[in-house]
């Protein structure tokens, strides 16, 4: 068929071809076969050309940013050859590598100016492409990192188009633009653009009211902190790389190079350095990364690390790390939520409970119990979530008692996969829950219209789990094997008597003995807009929490916590959270500066002795 040059000229006039080509028919034909974008690597007219050019196959016209073209360096580049002798496409196979590309000289088809001239003049050779052997096509719906994807477009007042400045930034550093593995220094983080600042909120008591200030000096009681034991606690879901890759649909709004672990880990470590918490509670800590990088990096910062990996095939887990200059480890107690003999508990989530002793002189041997967990995500399995929570609370109840019968101060951190106000959240804060008639899909409140409508059974978990409805061990796990013979004898009791006892004990009420408050209020008091701890392509919501046992004089605690233990913790301040609107001004999470899909939670406490 003859070439339709008129339609090509019309396409060029419409703006879908990068430049007008001078010369005869042969030159125009080479221009049509060449790569149709402004710049051969990072131009932004690619998909516009594919969408309008009728001479390309339909599946190529639908080409988007997530399609990856793999390079075969031995076929494209000869040794010490410049990248200016580039390639053109001979065809396309969906979800597969390119067929053998045909080398072509771009000098007749491309304007030798701007970033392309910079790239052409640089001595990029084959060795530069050995570590990263693929490139990603840009998304036509996102001109810059600071702009939202179409599915998450918000009407933000005062937000300007930053595509020009972002494009200049991308080409200013060729190694950062072309390499997927980016090494970042501390100085580079401080100069990054597009960040959303989070400020500290400090609590100041005036009578029975509590005021929040952004300046710590306004709290008169903090001036006496030299004689007190103050410490900070962080809860942070750092997003396992394995889970990120398994759920890539949640991160379609992100540039591909920002999702690589070699880019993400320096950002995460920098956040931990800057916030400098005394205790870290980390979730989704991938085991191989923990073993090779995370543990050693945190130990150089003065932390001692305890880790519990999930029991199934997912290679991540929970870690608690504390500054050895502030605490001494008394005991470490991992909790496995999987039970082979109980069908309900077929998930591999875990928890970790530490008992720490502060390194300061006090009248009594004060201790603090720190717990960390990541509960099941599935919104339709509220029965599993409540059982996992009961198992964690039972372990805390076995670790936290003191000699006088009271509990030491308790802090529970984690990703609970439940929203504020849900039945599971209320159970943690209020210490009781009547789940009679409660639909299984409404326990966590993750879905407005829950799909799991089956009613929770009474009781939720079987008796052989060894945990009562008060969330304490009826028989400690290590005693189960020792008492196996006694159980057989007890099983021979009269059937009628067993039925009577069982009917008396059947109850739909759960309880626990801890009076807990939440560090965060979950809504901004001035506007009523919800706070957000996680934000990705599908949702923006609060699922991460720091709960603590409040002291009597802690007016920052929620109502109902004032009659807590005779000792306890006083909340001095917290790192403010953000709204969903705030996060989408920097393209949600993860982004160029925040490399997890969760925000770190941070609170400062004061230990109050009895």
For the stretch 67-90, pLDDT in tens is: 443 444 444 343 444 443 434 344
Confidence at residue 557, expressed as pLDDT on a 0 to 100 scale = 73
State the pLDDT at residue 593. 95
Q: Which residues contact 379 (CB under 8 A, 6 or more apart)?
A: 417, 441, 444, 446, 447, 450, 451, 452
Buried b (16+ CB within 10 A) or exposed e, 207-228: eeeeebeeeeeebeebeeeeee
pLDDT at 352: 98
The per-residue pLDDT for 401 is 95
Q: Is residue 137 part of a domain?
A: no
Lowest mean pLDDT among 100-104, 446-450, 537-541: 100-104
* Residue 164 within a domain: no
H or E segment and range at residue 581: helix 580-584
pLDDT score, position 475: 73
Q: Tell me the mean pLDDT in the region 104-111.
A: 39
Q: Are 520 and 574 within 8 A, CB to CB?
A: yes
* Residue whose pair of structure tokens reads 């095939």 in the numeric block: 313
The helix (H) or strand (E) run that includes residue 332 is strand 327-336
Name the packing angle between helices 25-33 and 5-14 (round to 10°). Answer: 60
Give 192-235 pLDDT, tens digit per residue: 567 889 999 998 654 444 566 666 654 444 444 445 899 999 99
CATH of the domain at 529: 3.60.10.10
Tell me, yes or no, whether 479 lies in a domain: no
- Segment among 128-137, 405-414, 517-526 with least mean pLDDT: 128-137
Are the CB atoms for 440 and 451 separated by under 8 Å?
no
49 contacts 15 by C-beta, under 8 angstroms: no
Q: Is the pLDDT of residue 497 over 60?
A: no
Percentage of the chain beyond pLDDT 90 is 52
What is the mean predicted confidence (pLDDT) over 545-552? 94
Q: Is residue 114's pLDDT more than 50? A: no
Q: What is the pLDDT of residues 532-547, one digit of tens each?
A: 999 999 999 999 999 9
Assign residue 357 a region (left: φ > 0; alpha: ψ between -120 and 50; beta: otherwise).
beta
Min mean pLDDT across 216-225, 274-283, 455-464 is at 216-225
Q: Give whole-number Cα distances, 253 to 192, 197, 256, 472, in Å.
A: 19, 21, 9, 44
Model pLDDT, residue 294: 98
**Residues in CB range of 76: below 8 A, 6 or more apart:** 87, 101, 103
- Which pLDDT value is given to residue 361? 66
Whether the CB-CB separation of 586 and 529 falls below 8 Å is answered with no
Kindly state whether residue 41 falls inside one of the protein's structural domains: no
What is the pLDDT, as a whole number, of residue 175?
A: 38
Residue 343 has pLDDT above 90, yes or no: yes
Q: Which domain holds residue 240?
A: 226-473+506-556+565-609
Tokens at 354, concatenated? 């530490």
pLDDT value at 309 more than 80: yes
Tell me the backbone φ, ψ of residue 464, rounded to 5 degrees: -70, -5
By residue count, the chain amounts to 610
**pLDDT grade, residue 448 (50/70/90)?**
confident
Q: How far, in Å, CA of 356 to CA of 193, rounded?
A: 39
Question: How sure is the predictor about 480, in pLDDT bands with cuts at 50, 70 and 90?
Answer: low
Q: How many folded domains does the chain comprise?
A: 1
Q: Residue ranges of the alpha helices (H) in 448-534? A: 477-480, 484-490, 495-505
Q: Is residue 16 part of a domain?
A: no
Q: For residue 205, count other CB atoms closer than 10 A to its CB.
A: 16
Cα 429 to chain center, whole Å?
A: 24
> Tell me, what's the pLDDT at 552?
80
Decide if 269 is inside a domain.
Answer: yes
Residue 174 lies in a domain: no
> Is residue 515 one of the residues assigned to a domain?
yes
pLDDT at 104 over 60: no
Report the helix count and the strand count for the chain, using DSSP H and E: 19, 22
In sequence order, what are the residues at sequence separation of 6 or more whose Cβ sits closer than 8 angstroms to the Cβ of residue 39? 114, 115, 116, 119
């Amino acid at each position: 068929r003859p070439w339709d040059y008129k339609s090509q000229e019309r396409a060029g006039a419409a703006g879908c071809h990068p430049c007008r080509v001078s010369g005869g028919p042969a030159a125009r034909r080479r221009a049509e076969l060449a790569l149709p974008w402004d710049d051969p690597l990072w131009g932004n007219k690619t998909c516009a050309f594919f969408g309008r050019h009728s001479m390309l196959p339909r599946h190529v016209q639908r080409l988007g940013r997530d399609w990856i073209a793999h390079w075969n360096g031995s076929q494209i580049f000869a040794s010490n050859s410049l990248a200016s002798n580039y390639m053109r496409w001979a065809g396309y196979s969906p979800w597969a590598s390119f067929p053998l590309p045909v080398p072509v000289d771009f000098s007749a088809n491309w304007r030798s100016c701007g970033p392309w001239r910079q790239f052409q003049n640089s001595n990029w050779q084959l060795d530069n492409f050995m570590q990263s052997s693929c490139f990603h096509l840009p998304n036509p719906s996102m001109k810059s990192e600071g702009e939202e994807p179409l599915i998450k477009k918000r009407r933000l007042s005062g937000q300007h188009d930053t595509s020009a400045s972002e494009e200049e930034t991308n080409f200013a550093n060729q190694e950062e633009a072309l390499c997927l593995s980016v090494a970042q220094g501390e100085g580079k983080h401080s100069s990054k653009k597009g960040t959303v600042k989070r400020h500290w909120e400090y609590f100041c008591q005036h009578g029975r009211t509590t005021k929040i200030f952004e300046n710590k000096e306004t709290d008169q009681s903090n001036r006496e902190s030299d004689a007190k034991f103050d410490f900070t606690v962080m809860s942070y879901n750092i997003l396992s790389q394995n889970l990120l890759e398994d759920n890539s649909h949640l991160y379609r709004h992100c540039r591909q190079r920002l999702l690589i672990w070699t880019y993400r880990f320096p950002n995460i470590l920098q956040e931990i350095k800057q916030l400098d918490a005394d205790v870290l509670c980390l979730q989704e800590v991938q085991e191989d990364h923990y073993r090779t990088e995370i543990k050693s990096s945190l130990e150089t910062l003065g932390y001692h690390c305890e880790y519990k990996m999930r029991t199934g095939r997912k290679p991540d887990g929970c870690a608690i790390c504390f500054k050895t200059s502030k605490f001494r480890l008394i005991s470490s107690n991992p909790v496995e939520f999987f039970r082979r003999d109980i069908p309900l508990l077929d998930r591999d989530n875990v928890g970790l409970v530490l008992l720490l002793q502060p390194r300061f002189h006090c009248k009594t041997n004060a201790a603090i119990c720190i717990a960390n967990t990541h509960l099941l995500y599935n919104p339709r399995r509220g029965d599993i979530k409540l059982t996992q929570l009961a198992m964690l609370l039972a372990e805390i109840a076995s670790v936290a008692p003191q000699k006088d019968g009271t509990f030491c101060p308790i802090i529970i951190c984690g990703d609970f996969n439940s929203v504020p106000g849900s039945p599971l959240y209320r159970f943690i804060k209020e210490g009781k829950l009547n789940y009679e008639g409660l639909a299984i899909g409404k326990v966590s409140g993750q879905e407005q219209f829950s799909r799991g409508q089956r009613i929770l059974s009474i009781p939720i978990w079987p008796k052989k789990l060894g945990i009562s409805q008060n969330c304490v061990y009826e028989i400690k796990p290590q005693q189960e094997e020792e008492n196996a013979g006694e159980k057989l004898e007890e099983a021979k009791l009269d059937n009628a008597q067993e039925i009577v006892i069982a009917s008396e004990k059947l109850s739909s009420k759960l309880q626990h003995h801890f009076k807990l408050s939440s560090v965060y209020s979950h809504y901004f008091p001035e506007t009523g807009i919800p706070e957000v701890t996680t934000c990705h392509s599908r949702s923006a919501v609060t699922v991460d929490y720091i709960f603590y046992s409040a002291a009597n004089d802690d007016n920052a605690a929620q109502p109902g916590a004032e009659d807590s233990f005779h000792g306890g913790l006083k909340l001095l301040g917290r790192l403010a959270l953000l709204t969903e609107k705030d996060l989408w001004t920097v393209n949600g999470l993860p982004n160029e500066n925040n490399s997890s899909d969760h925000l770190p939670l941070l609170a400062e406490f004061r230990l109050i002795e009895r």
